[in-house]
Amino acid sequence: MNYSDYYPDVKCAFLPKAIIHKVHEHPLFLKKDCITAGCAACDRCIGMFAFGCDICNFNLHYTCARLPDTIKHRYDEHPFTLIYAPIKNGLDEYMCEFCEEGIDPKWWFYHCIDCDQSACAKCICTERKEVQNIKWGSTYNFDSHPHRLIYVPTTDDGCDYCQENFYAPFPLTRQIGFKCEQCNIMVHPFCPYR
């Protein structure tokens, strides 16, 4: 990467040079270069902007390192607690209550002890950056549509723009979308931006 063409946003510019995380005994240093190793929290390829320990080859995505210990979700009255891997129970023991996919207990996930419900971090955490600051019920104008769209929860099966269902291709934004009351259509949160 040519750093002369590199312009970080405000959040990235103020990332700490090192953090202490309770799951690792050594300080984790900010790495800006590409890392080919998988994340210790989710096993996905890291790429750039991670926190890592060169002594142990332990690396975390920036977002995984910032996962809260507990999180409250609007669909559960109790908090979910972050479970750090590995858990000895098998793959069939945990299923995400939101995307209904199995959770591999080798990687971090959230669990509500009171309800005995689990959730993968991508489903229970905040919605995608592009829509996380949009207020429910608010109306918005988009160049791609002639009427105002309302940001609403949805149970409709498919996006009227891209024809994909609301569970794909954006797993963090399922069951939310923009509705046009004049046209009686519902679209993914990202489709009006296209």
pLDDT for 55 equals 92
pLDDT above 90: residue 158: no
Q: Where are the alpha helices (DSSP H) in 7-55?
A: 10-13
Tell me what pLDDT residue 98 has: 74
In a 3-state reduction of DSSP, which class is residue 18?
Answer: strand
- Cα 150–chain centre separation: 23
- If DSSP codes are grouped into helix, strand and coil, which group holds residue 116? coil
What confidence score (pLDDT) does residue 34 get? 63
Comparing 40-44, 66-70, 83-87, 146-150, which segment has the lowest mean pLDDT? Answer: 83-87
**Is the CATH number 3.30.60 carried by domain 139-193?**
yes
pLDDT band at 24 (very low <50, low <70, confident <90, very high): very high
CATH 3.30.60 residue ranges for the chain: 139-193
Closest C-alpha among 142, 128, 126 to residue 179 = 142
Rounded to the nearest angstrom, the gap between the alpha carbon of residue 133 and the centroid of all alpha carbons in its chain is 14
In Å, what is the CA distance from 51 to each residue of 55, 76, 91, 145, 153? 13, 31, 28, 41, 35
Residue bearing the bigger pLDDT, 53 or 90 = 53
DSSP label of 134: P
